[in-house]
Each structure stands twice: as C-alpha cells, then as structure tokens.
Amino acid sequence: MHKLSNLLFVSSNIHKFTEAEKILKSFGISIQFFKLNLEEIQSNSIKQIAIKKAQDAFSKCKKPLIIEDDGLSIDALDGFPGPYSSYAHKTIGNKGILNLLNKHRSAKFVSSITYCDKNGFQSFEGKLHGSISKSEKGNGWGFDPIFIPKNTKKTFGELTDKNNLSHRYKALKKFSNWYLHK
C-alpha cells in the first residue's frame, strides 16, 4: 500500500473521515484525521467553500491536506439545501426536507474535494443523481436515510455498498488518480 501518512483529512465530522478513509484505502492511500472547526464562507458554490476551508486549514497546520464539502441539491426546491445542507439538516432535519416535497423528488448529491499544500490547491468534484424517498429508511448519517441513488431502489441508509458509488467516492477517485500520478 502506498502510505501517505502526512496527508491529513481536515474536518469536524468523523463520519466524513470514516467514509473517506475507507474509500482512499481502496486506492492505496492512507490519511489521518485532523479535527478542526473551520469557518465556512457563505457561498452558493460548494467548490468555493471547500477551497476556502482548505486554504484556512493549511494556514493552521502547514501540512498537505484534503477537505471535503458536499451538498444535497433538490430540483423541486431550486437546488436547496445545496451548500447549506449541514445547516438545513441541523435545523429542519430529514423530516423537514420530506415535508417540503410533493411529487417531484429528483435530487443530486455533490461532493467537492480540495487538496492543499505549500504549492497551492487542486479541486475534484463528484456528482450522484437520484431522488428523495417518501419516508426515512435505513440508518446512516445526514441525508443518507432519504436519498435514493439513481438505478437503485434503496436509500444510502439501506445500502451496504454506499462507499462504492457515492458522490464522495466519485470525487475521491478523481483525487486519487491525480494524487498518485502527480
């Protein structure tokens, strides 16, 4: 295994780290969790939020790192909650999202991974289309119990192979291909 013990995954969310660690391990990359609460800029761009967080984190720890920011974008709600997904989940939760929807339930998850070191940053995006279920199903964290990936009938919370198809997987795969060949 190609060990990159100096590569940090900076987040305040251990769930994101756990998923990223498993995914990156499948590509031969080892990461360390670096818990840090970062200020999040207000922006409609998940990529810009991730870039600012990565730059802020690098200024504090001075080591190569990755940041992941993501959002659930629901078509019937004009992309809401999008970059405000964490806030929406904390305030209205899955039940609140379900109460906002009628017939049209198409949605997508977007993940933006930003790598940052002393030479600058590089970003990678992963998208996964799907829909919002009519009720919470399964376990998981965040919106996992209500998001159904395209071509499946189960929510992320019901799937055992979420890490093999998620938006985070797609972004981390792009990052891995770049990082291992740079």
Nearest-angstrom CA–CA distance, 155 and 157: 5
What six digits make up the tokens of 153? 């009938």
Nearest-10 Cα torsion for 166, 167, 172, 177: 100
- E strand intervals along the chain: 8-11, 32-35, 65-74, 81-82, 106-117, 120-132, 147-149
If DSSP codes are grouped into helix, strand and coil, which group holds residue 123?
A: strand
Question: Which position among 69, 70, 78, 144 bears the catalytic label?
Answer: 69
DSSP letter assigned to residue 32 = E
The answer to whether residue 75 is catalytic is no
Catalytic residue numbers, as ranges: 69
